[in-house]
Structure 1
Amino acid sequence: MNWVQHAKRLADGVARPESRRPSPVAAVPRHKFVPRWWESTGDGIWVLRDGHSDPEAWLEAAYTNQTLVTRVDACHAERTLPEDAGIAISGTPTSSSTLPGLVVQMSRHAMIADDSTMLVTTGTGYGTALACARLGDDQVTSIDVDTVLVNMAKDRLALHGYRPQMAVCDITRQLPGTFDRIVATVSVRPVPASWLAALEPGSRLVTTIAGTGLILTADRTKAGGATGRIEWDRAGS
C-alpha cells in the first residue's frame, strides 16, 4: 500500500511552509495506527469502518486532516473483528486519533528543542510516534488511563521502530517523572496541579480547554507557579 504520497500531502497541508525541518507527519504511517475507527452518521449513531476491507477509504480517512474516533463509550474499534465492519452503535466518543493539524499546532506552541524531554498523551499512539520522530524514543514518555489503549499503542509503536517510555496513568494525578514539555491532546478544565509539579522551571505545557476550541500554553516560573495564555490558534475537530 503506497501511503507515503498521502502522508506527504497531509504534511504539506498541516506544516508551516517556512519550517526548515521536515515534518514528522510525512514520515509516520497514520493508517497503521488507526486500522479501524467509528464513523459518525450525524445522528448519534457510529458505524464501524475497517481499513483492510476498503484500503482506498482507509488511506482517504487516515490522511485527511480530521479526528478519527477509535472508541465509543467502552467499545474499542480495534477490539472488534474485520467482519464486524458496518455494524452501528450509539454512544459518546471516548478516545480518538487527534487530527494531525492540531497535534502539529500544539507541538509548535510547545516550542520543542532538540534536547527537550516530552510527555504526551497516548490515544492510538500516532501522536507519540510523531514525537519520537521529532525527538527520539528516549526523550518521549506517553501515558493514558486505559491499559488496553496503552498496550495496543505500545505494540504498534514497536512495529514501526519506536520504543518510548509508556505508562498507564491518570493524567489528572501524579505524573511519571519531570519533563521539559507536556503536550496533552486530552482536554482538561482546570489544568491539574500535578502538571506544574512535573515541569522544570522554564518548561512549558500545552493543552486544550475542555468544552472550548481554545489552546492553552503555560510556562513554569522559578517561584513554582505558571504564566499562561490562550493562543490565537483554535483547536479543530
Structure 2
Amino acid sequence: MPRWWTSLVPAPGPYGSAIWEVRIGAADRDSWRDTAYTDRSFVTRVSGVHADDADPGNRAIGAPTSSATLPSLLVSMFQHARIIDGMHVLDVGTGSGYGTAVLAARLGGDRVTSIDVDPYLVAPAEERLDRAGYRPIVRTLDATGPLDGEWDRIIATVSVRPIPTSWLAALRPGGRLVTSIAGAGLLLTADRTPDGGAEGRIEWDRAGFMTTRTGLDYPPELVDRIEVARTAEGEHVAAGRFPVVNVMEAWDLWSMLGVTAPGIDHDYREGCDTRTAIMAHPDGSWTRAVEAPDGQVTVHQGGPRRLWDLLDAIRTRWLREGHLPVNGAHAMVAPDGAITRRRGRWSTTIAD
C-alpha cells in the first residue's frame, strides 16, 4: 500500500463522501511503516480515482470504493471461517491484496483464489503478492456472477444482499461462507446444506464492508436520492421523539433497520449547533431529521414509507426490551440466496 487517501472534511453526497488528500509512503518512510502496522482501514480508491494515480498534494471528492481492511477484522473473518490445512479458499474482494497474502501464508498460494471486479486493483495486488513471495490465483471477476471452481471456504471482504447463488454453487459439501450483509453491518457465517443452501447464524461480531459493485464506482442515483432528501419539503413534517443519531455509527440500530427495511442509504452531518440525519430508499421513501440547538427535532418524510418512524419503532423496542434480536440470530440461506434470520418469535427475510 504505497499510497492511500485520508479524509479532510465531509463533502456533499452519500454517507462516506468527503474531500480526500493523498498520502505517499515513500515521502515519509517512518510514517509509512507505522501506518502499515496500524490496526485501521485505509482508503485506497475514492470513486474512480486510485491513490496510486494521485500526485503529491492531489485531492479527490467522493465516497471510498476500495480500501485495505483493518488487520484485526481480517483475523476475525478467518477465525470464523475455521480454516484448516489443505483447504481451498476463495477470497472475494482482492483490494490491496493484504488479506490474500495472509491466506497464502497460511495455506500456500496454490490453495487460494482471490477475485475483484476492478482490474486496476487486481494487477498491482498480484505484483505485490509476487514480490512478497506469494503466488495465489488472482483474477478480475464480478463475484456476483458465475464462478469457475469449487472451494471449501468463501470469505468475502465486500458485503452482499442476498447471498449470490454462484457462491452457494461453488461451495463444496460441508463448506462454509463468511460474509457481511449489505446495509446492516452483520457478519454471517453459514455452512452449506444438502439442498444447495446454507445454515448458520448472525455472529455477535460486527463487520462493515463496502457493497459489491459491477463497475468502477457506485451508481449516481444513490447521490441523487440523498440530495433530494437534503432539500425537499416533506409530505409529512412532525416533531421527533428522540435525538438525532448517526445511524451508521449506532451499530445495533443500523443492523436492525438494515434488515427491517433493506436498501436504505444514510447521510449524517454536524454543523456548529445542528445535527442532520438523512435516509433515502430506492423505492422513493426518504427522511430528513434536523436537531436544533435547543434540542428540538424536526422530521421531514416523503415517499411510500415513513423511514424515521421505522427507526423510532426500533429505538422504542430497544428501550423497552433492553436488546434487539438480530445479533446471534439463527440464519438460513435458501438455494436462491434469500437470507432468513430467526430468534425467538422474531424473524425476517431478505431476498432479491
1:28-59 alpha-carbon deviations (Å, 9 max, x no partner): xxxxxx10000012421111000000112212
- Separation in structure 1 between the aligned mates of residue 115 and residue 204 of structure 2, nearest angstrom: 27
- Separation in structure 2 between the aligned mates of residue 145 and residue 118 of structure 1, nearest angstrom: 18
How do residues 15-94 of structure 1 correspond to structure 2 at under 5 angstroms? Answer: 34-43=1-10, 44-80=18-54, 84-94=55-65
Unpaired runs of 5+ residues, structure 2, are 11-17, 210-352
Pick from 152, 168, 171 the counterpart of residue 124 of structure 2: 152
TM-align CA RMSD: 1.2
Pairwise CA distance, 1:236: 6.0
1:143–1:166 Cα contact (<8 Å) kept = yes
- Separation in structure 2 between the aligned mates of residue 72 and residue 88 of structure 1, nearest angstrom: 10
Pairwise CA distance, 1:188: 1.0
Q: Which residue of 1 aligns with 2:321?
A: none
1:144-201 alpha-carbon deviations (Å, 9 max, x no partner): 0111111111111101111111111101111231100000101111111110000011
1:119-155 alpha-carbon deviations (Å, 9 max, x no partner): 0021011110000001001100010011111111111
Amino acid at match of 2:140: V
SS at match of 1:166: strand
2:178–2:189 Cα contact (<8 Å) kept = yes
**Do the aligned partners of residues 215 and 75 (structure 1) sit closer, same or farther apart at CA in structure 2, a change above 3 Å counting?**
same
- Separation in structure 2 between the aligned mates of residue 185 and residue 42 of structure 1, nearest angstrom: 26
Q: Which residue of 2 aligns with 1:202?
A: 174
TM-score by structure 1 length? Answer: 0.82
- Separation in structure 1 between the aligned mates of residue 52 and residue 203 of structure 2, nearest angstrom: 34
- Separation in structure 2 between the aligned mates of residue 75 and residue 196 of structure 1, nearest angstrom: 33
- Separation in structure 2 between the aligned mates of residue 107 and residue 151 of structure 1, nearest angstrom: 24
The answer as to 2:177 corresponding to 1:177 is no
How many residues are treated as equivalent by the alignment? 201
SS at match of 1:186: strand
- Separation in structure 1 between the aligned mates of residue 153 and residue 51 of structure 2, nearest angstrom: 30
2:5–2:22 Cα contact (<8 Å) kept = yes
The answer as to 2:156 corresponding to 1:189 is no
Superposition misfits of 4+ residues, deviation over 2 angstroms? none
TM-score by structure 2 length? Answer: 0.56
SS at match of 1:41: strand
2:180–2:208 Cα contact (<8 Å) kept = no
* Bigger radius of gyration: 2
Q: Which residue of 1 aligns with 2:86?
A: 115
The answer as to 2:99 corresponding to 1:127 is yes
1:99–1:236 Cα contact (<8 Å) kept = no
Unpaired runs of 5+ residues, structure 1, are 1-33
